[in-house]
């Protein structure tokens, strides 16, 4: 299996927005007004593109809240939650 692209959804305090960045290049992929907007209705799946990837979703304080893998079939392991 090919390695998944890795992304992080993080709060940008200076701009009061949520930024999705590529972890390897630090390139801004997309910026959102709210965390809810970013995580609702497949928006993250569209943002990471057809090649998919793993997205770490942070809390406002920078701690990781959850991690999502797109497409779901690319998840490298079974998890309990």
Count of beta carbons in the 10 Å neighbourhood of residue 29: 19
**pLDDT for residue 78:** 62
71-78: average pLDDT: 65
> Are β-strands 53-58 and 28-32 bridged in parallel, bridged antiparallel, or unpaired?
unpaired
Count of beta carbons in the 10 Å neighbourhood of residue 31: 13
Condensed to tens digits (0 to 9), the pLDDT of residues 24-47 reads 999 999 999 999 999 998 899 999
Q: Is the pLDDT at 61 greater than 70, yes or no?
A: yes
Residues facing 30 on adjacent strands? 20
What's the CA gap between 12 and 10, in Å, rounded? 6
> Are β-strands 17-22 and 6-12 bridged in parallel, bridged antiparallel, or unpaired?
antiparallel
**pLDDT for residue 25:** 97
């Amino acid at each position: 299996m090919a390695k998944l692209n890795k992304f992080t959804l993080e709060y940008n305090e200076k701009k009061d927005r949520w930024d999705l960045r590529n972890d390897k290049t630090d390139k801004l992929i997309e910026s959102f007004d709210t965390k809810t907007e970013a995580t609702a209705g497949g928006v993250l799946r569209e943002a990471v593109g057809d090649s998919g990837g793993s997205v770490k979703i942070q809390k406002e304080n920078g701690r990781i809240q959850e991690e999502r893998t797109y497409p779901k079939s690319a998840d490298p392991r079974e998890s309990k939650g």
